[in-house]
Chain A
Amino acid sequence: MRQRKIGEVILDVRNISLSFGGVKALQGISFDVREHEVRAIIGPNGAGKSSMLNCINGVYHPQEGEIVFRGEVRRDMDTHHAAESGIGRTFQNLALFKGMSVLDNIMTGRNLRMKTGILAQALHLGPARAEELREREFVEHVIDFLEIQAYRKTPVGRLPYGLQKRVDLGRALAAQPQVLLLDEPMAGMNLEEKQDMCRFVLDINDEFGTTIVLIEHDMGVVMDISDRVVVLDYGKKIGDGTPDEVRNDPEVIKAYLGVSH
């Protein structure tokens, strides 16, 4: 059985509004994420889920609101700062580095921690080599964890979709994030792949205590694995609570369950 300690609020999203041109993608969204929990954001297509994630890790800059991460209040994030302070993410549409092997893709997740300079790299001097080998070993643990040993040196483009998703997860995991944002990690997968992915998500949460924020529109999966759920619809928050609370919320049922499922 899973026995975990849910901690204090680690990420607090306050009153975020985002618009593109005239289109309002998010309107005054607020929610918090506690340390070590699995937090889901659900909603029908176009509800603003991905936009929300993009605001959290600085890909988009909301016009209003602020983001508090580990006590640090920011008007908006920038991607690098987000990565540096421990926010990792995966992508809905695979955003792997197509020209690189599985190993190299995951190695890029360690780039933040690799500091040796160009000259040392070019000459493959002691520190550069030592750093490379050290990070390789770390990445091997990620590969082992995700059970993709057999594909280590395969170019990612040649892998089936489900495995590519796993590599994407591995790349984010390699950065040892405190909070991991998962953008529809199970989209486009078959049942078995979904189960595998669920297991990995829970294992990550268990083994490393990583806080997880995930977007899904597969309700079943979300309800099974998350501690608390935020429901978005047309850029507005319409529900927030435990899976059971959300499931029984009349407004959620009306806006989400009633319409598309």
Chain B
Amino acid sequence: MAAKKNGPVIALGAVLAAGLAAPLVTGSPLGFYLEVLIGGLMAGVLYSLVALGFVLIFKASGVFNFAQGAMVLFAALALARLAEWLPAWIGIPAGFPALTLAFVLAAGIMVGLAWVIERIVLRPLVAQDPVALLMATLGVTFFLDGFGQTIWGSDIYKIDLGISKDPTMILESMFQGGILVSKEDLIAAVIAAGLVILLALFFQKTATGRALRAVADDHQAAQSIGIPLNRIWVIVWAVAGFVALVAGMVWGAKLGVQFSLAQLALKALPVVILGGFTSIPGAIIGGLIIGVGEKMAEVFLGPPLVKMWDLAGGGIENWFAYVLALLFLMVRPEGLFGEKHIDRV
């Protein structure tokens, strides 16, 4: 295979950077600009959380888990409803104690659920075409969407982490008007960072984690040195279930728990394309890029477009991530941090 040309990648990067800088050049106030940037980063953190689940499973088993979004919804529903029901059931005080217990229970449920999915759906499909696996996870998505709403209910629920949603003004001294930042968002970022660190530790320090990495590198080799693939896959699915719970909690707290959560999770797809299917840092950075890009495009690119073509409103963020991912695919299919594959005949 001829060496991949880096030209288009650099060009694309330059265009993105230019796009990022453009609003400043055209005279948007710096404070506002930073506010948008930080908002984008926050959304990006959420995308990253979902994308993490994708990457974990893909890395270990080559399955593109379309159902990660549904798992997020399911986890968020479980958490929200358990936190609501538990006080009535066992008299535990509502609020933080109930939430904690609900989180533990939901974690158990998610791990169990992930285990069941792996055993019932993915195990029989081992060594199938990736597209078939993708479709199977689509089936899981539908099943979970229906199942989750059947047992947990289908209204909009709240997860109250007890954090004020009021925005805080920071850096007032530096900019005129300062920057509005929600405390909740900050906490979310911290949780996400914590989770990433936790996962990194898990992968680096535990035997299971090392086995996981071995499996990700080479299935056959891992199997030949005695790593039980089936058990690894179950663990990975369980971890992904837990990650989904964290993502669901953070996202649910921010936006409320509702059906659209599952759809929003679709956004994580372009993130992994961008970051590379097999890279955890890629998922984080990809998430941030998509989050920021989307917000920037919506805020700074949207209005001129609407004006220019007389559009019925903006909404660029609906497709921006995908089109960006598509462009990226054309120039660098393996993503920013993914591994290259050479097809041999």
A5 to chain B, nearest CB (A): 33
Q: How far is the CA of A59 from the CA of B1 in the complex (A)?
A: 10
User: B2, B342, B345: which contacts A54 (Cβ < 8 A)?
Assistant: B345
In the complex, are the beta carbons of B345 and A20 less than 8 A apart?
no
A51-63 vs B, Cβ < 8 Å mask (1 yes, 0 no): 0001000011100
| B345 proximity list for chain A (CB < 8 A) | 50, 54, 59-60, 91, 95
Give B344's nearest chain A residue, CB to CB.
A20
In the complex, are the beta carbons of A61 and B342 less than 8 A apart?
no
A79 to chain B, nearest CB (A): 10
Q: How far is the CA of A95 from the CA of B1 in the complex (A)?
A: 21
In the complex, are the beta carbons of A20 and B2 less than 8 A apart?
no
| A91 proximity list for chain B (CB < 8 A) | 345
Give A183's nearest chain B residue, CB to CB.
B345
Q: How far is the CA of A50 from the CA of B2 in the complex (A)?
A: 19
Chain B 1-23 interface residues, beta-carbon cutoff 8 Å to A? 1-2
Chain B 33-50 interface residues, beta-carbon cutoff 8 Å to A? none
* Number of A residues with CB within 8 Å of any CB on chain B: 8
| B2 proximity list for chain A (CB < 8 A) | 61
B152-187 vs A, Cβ < 8 Å mask (1 yes, 0 no): 000000000000000000000000000000000000
Most buried by A among B1, B2, B345: B345
Q: How far is the CA of A61 from the CA of B1 in the complex (A)?
A: 7
B320-345 vs A, Cβ < 8 Å mask (1 yes, 0 no): 00000000000000000000001001
Chain B: interface secondary structure? loop
- Counting contact residues on chain B (CB < 8 A from A), the size range is under 10
A77 to chain B, nearest CB (A): 14
Q: How far is the CA of A190 from the CA of B60 in the complex (A)?
A: 39
Q: How far is the CA of A20 from the CA of B2 in the complex (A)?
A: 9
A83 to chain B, nearest CB (A): 14
Give B345's nearest chain A residue, CB to CB.
A59
| A59 proximity list for chain B (CB < 8 A) | 345
A187 to chain B, nearest CB (A): 15
A150-189 vs B, Cβ < 8 Å mask (1 yes, 0 no): 0000000000000000000000000000000000000000
Q: How far is the CA of A95 from the CA of B344 in the complex (A)?
A: 13
B343 to chain A, nearest CB (A): 10
Q: How far is the CA of A60 from the CA of B1 in the complex (A)?
A: 7
Chain A 46-89 interface residues, beta-carbon cutoff 8 Å to B? 50, 54, 59-61
Give A95's nearest chain B residue, CB to CB.
B345
A85 to chain B, nearest CB (A): 20
Q: How far is the CA of A118 from the CA of B342 in the complex (A)?
A: 33
| B342 proximity list for chain A (CB < 8 A) | 20
Q: How far is the CA of A76 from the CA of B90 in the complex (A)?
A: 76
| B1 proximity list for chain A (CB < 8 A) | 20
Q: How far is the CA of A177 from the CA of B144 in the complex (A)?
A: 54
A5-20 vs B, Cβ < 8 Å mask (1 yes, 0 no): 0000000000000001
Q: How far is the CA of A61 from the CA of B342 in the complex (A)?
A: 13
Q: How far is the CA of A190 from the CA of B342 in the complex (A)?
A: 33
| A61 proximity list for chain B (CB < 8 A) | 2
Q: How far is the CA of A61 from the CA of B345 in the complex (A)?
A: 13
A171 to chain B, nearest CB (A): 16
Chain B 98-120 interface residues, beta-carbon cutoff 8 Å to A? none
A139 to chain B, nearest CB (A): 25
Give B2's nearest chain A residue, CB to CB.
A61
B334 to chain A, nearest CB (A): 15
Q: How far is the CA of A61 from the CA of B3 in the complex (A)?
A: 12
Q: How far is the CA of A170 from the CA of B345 in the complex (A)?
A: 20
Q: How far is the CA of A179 from the CA of B212 in the complex (A)?
A: 48
Q: How far is the CA of A19 from the CA of B342 in the complex (A)?
A: 13
Q: How far is the CA of A133 from the CA of B2 in the complex (A)?
A: 42
| A20 proximity list for chain B (CB < 8 A) | 1, 342
Chain A 78-126 interface residues, beta-carbon cutoff 8 Å to B? 91, 95
A63 to chain B, nearest CB (A): 9
Q: How far is the CA of A91 from the CA of B345 in the complex (A)?
A: 9
Give A91's nearest chain B residue, CB to CB.
B345
B131 to chain A, nearest CB (A): 14
B340 to chain A, nearest CB (A): 10
B4 to chain A, nearest CB (A): 12
B198 to chain A, nearest CB (A): 35
Q: How far is the CA of A71 from the CA of B179 in the complex (A)?
A: 73
Q: How far is the CA of A91 from the CA of B344 in the complex (A)?
A: 13
B140 to chain A, nearest CB (A): 26
Q: How far is the CA of A54 from the CA of B345 in the complex (A)?
A: 8
A62 to chain B, nearest CB (A): 11
Chain A 232-246 interface residues, beta-carbon cutoff 8 Å to B? none
Give A59's nearest chain B residue, CB to CB.
B345
Q: How far is the CA of A20 from the CA of B345 in the complex (A)?
A: 13
Beyond A59-B345, A60-B345, 7 additional contacts (C-beta under 8 Å) are A20-B1, A20-B342, A50-B345, A54-B345, A61-B2, A91-B345, A95-B345
Interchain Cβ contacts under 8 Å between A and B, 9 examples: A20-B1, A20-B342, A50-B345, A54-B345, A59-B345, A60-B345, A61-B2, A91-B345, A95-B345
Enumerate chain A interface residues (CB-CB to B < 8 A).
20, 50, 54, 59-61, 91, 95
Nearest 9 A-B pairs (CB), nearest first?
A59-B345, A54-B345, A61-B2, A20-B342, A20-B1, A50-B345, A91-B345, A60-B345, A95-B345
